Structure 1
Amino acid sequence: MAVRSARRERGSTRVDPRLLIGLALVAGSSLGVWALVEALDDTREVLVAPATLTPGTRVEAASLRVESVRLGALADGYLAPDDLPEGGLVVVRTVQAGELLPAASVADRERADLAVVVVTSSRPLPGEVAPGALVDVWTAAEVERGAFEPPVVLVPGAEVAAVAESDGMMSTGGPTVELLIPREKTAALLEALAAGDAVDLVPATGAVRD
């Protein structure tokens, strides 16, 4: 019996507990590094225009390119592949080839009949005039140098798409504003701009469009 017991002990394999502890530490360290890398990776997939997209163009996921980029806090301003509904969206602001697709550059079918018009305000803009706000476009025709007719609302409830302050010390123009307006109002507003009418943007009552 003693001989059999000795043979059994010689044939069995003993695992050093220190080896098990070492393997556990290595595995835990690897998982910790992986988790840290994942936490620091703030890249996300966004849609990119493969060619210049002009207002009125309908875009779907299949017609756009997908790229992984690191945008940080700016990520919410651009569309991800899952943001496009079935049937796509309509471009309301020109997007150049290779540019990320801004959320503000597309709209659903209800806004597809909007046109983008850039106007220069004759006065400083109120603080409420920012992208997404609604403004009434007032115009006044010049009857003689420095004299204008009473102003009228030419386009009520136009949506502000973008605002850009005039640059340069010699600039005489006011802030330029991209407006989304109904297409049927486009001709009248362009005529007023071509004629040199004074244009003022006044926040519409109640006003930020969802």
Structure 2
Amino acid sequence: MSPGSTRTRRRFWVDPRFVIGLVLVAASIAGVSAIVAGSDRTTAVYTARHTLTVGDRLTKTDLVETRVRLGGAADLYLSPTVEPGLLVTQTILAGELVARSAVGAAAGELTTSVVVDVPGRLAARVVSGSVVDIWSARATGPGEYAPPTILVAQAVVVRIVIPTGIIAADNGQSVELLVPKANVADVLEAIMNGDALAIVPVNTPVVP
């Protein structure tokens, strides 16, 4: 038997407390890193390159992409995912974040919304987004009306106004409609004259 064969191999022993300590240190470092990363999380939004006034149409040259910490408020501001071309509805100062509430669709140049009272019930197909014709019958006397005619064609229903308060009228409904600005005067005149208004859906459902 050789002398080397009588030697006892030295066993490597690790204190479990040492392992636990390493795990705790690693977890602490990971936690701190996560907190730092979370606190440094920013969102890309638009700021105004120069002062924008009501009626201006937004272009990319008017906007600067900026990364800021907004947290849960990010959805309140215009982000680069939104295509320019919107209209400014509130003054936005140079360097100010562009709030979504300060801009509107370009279609607002040609259309606007009005609320009309319609006697009786609405057709079931009259819902938000429906395309409708507004018919009007001019009042000629107490309870008397001229033959109805189309007052506005191809109006769009924005919403059905839900009555609130102690007394809710059950003999009609109010409807907010998107109409061409060129027809607003006619609609307001019909309302002030007490004309009878009706809303008729344009689209006809396909019958199976």
Normalising by the residue count of structure 2, what TM-score does the alignment of the two structures yield?
0.57
Q: Which residue of 1 aligns with 2:25?
A: 23
**Deviates most, 137-146 or 126-135:** 126-135
Unaligned runs of 5+ in 1: 1-15, 48-52, 95-99
Q: 1:154 aligns with which of 151, 167, 170?
A: 151
| Residue identity (%) | 26
Q: Assess, with a 3 A threshold, how the Cα gap between structure 1 residues 145 and 162 changes in structure 2: closer, same or farther.
A: same
Within-5 A mapping of 1:6-45: 16-28=18-30
Asked whether the equivalents of residues 117 and 181 of structure 1 are also in contact (C-alpha less than 8 Å), the reply is yes
Report the Cα offset of residue 84 of structure 1. 4.8
Structure 1 residue aligned with 2:119 = 122
Give the whole-Å Cα distance in 2 for the aligned partners of 1:150 and 1:187: 20
2:9 aligns with none
Residues 158 and 68 of structure 1: is their aligned pair in 2 closer, same or farther, counting only changes over 3 Å? farther
Deviation of the 1:45 alpha carbon: 7.5
1:80–1:190 distance in 2 versus 1, CA, 3 Å: same
Alignment partners' CA distance in 1, 2:148 and 2:182? 20
- Conservation of the 8 A alpha-carbon contact between 2:129 and 2:156: yes
How far did residue 117 of structure 1 move?
1.8
1:144 offset after TM fit, Å? 2.4
Please give the per-residue CA displacement for 1:92-121, whole angstroms capped at 9, x wherever unaligned: xx9xxxxx7469x8222x552113222111
CA–CA distance in 2 between the matches of 1:155 and 1:179?
Answer: 10
Counterpart in 1 of 2:190? 192
Is the partner of 1:131 in helix, strand or coil? coil
> Which secondary structure state, in structure 2, belongs to the residue aligned with residue 121 of structure 1?
strand
- Per-residue deviation, 1:168: 3.6
Distance in 2 between residues matched to 1:177 and 1:184, nearest whole Å: 19
User: Structure 1 residues 67 and 147 mapped into 2: Cα distance closer, same or farther (>3 Å)?
Assistant: farther
Q: Would the alpha carbon gap of residues 148 and 107 (structure 1) be closer, same or farther in structure 2, given more than 3 Å must change?
A: same
Deviation of residue 179 (structure 1)? 1.6
SS of 1:191's equivalent in the other structure is helix
Distance 2:46 2:69 in 1: 6
| Cα distance in 1, alignment partners of residues 108 and 143 from structure 2 | 38
- Specify the alignment match of 1:107 in structure 2: 105
Compute the RMSD of aligned alpha carbons: 4.3
- The one-letter code of the counterpart of 1:199 is L
Cα distance in 2 for residues equivalent to 1:67 and 1:122: 51
- How far the C-alpha of 1:19 sits from its partner, in A, is 3.0
What is the one-letter code of the residue matched to 2:23?
I
Question: Quick check: which has more Rg, 1 or 2?
Answer: 2
Q: Are the structure 2 counterparts of residues 106 and 87 from structure 1 closer, same or farther at C-alpha, using a change threshold of 3 Å?
A: closer
- The separation in 2 between residues aligned to 1:123 and 1:132, in whole angstroms, is 20
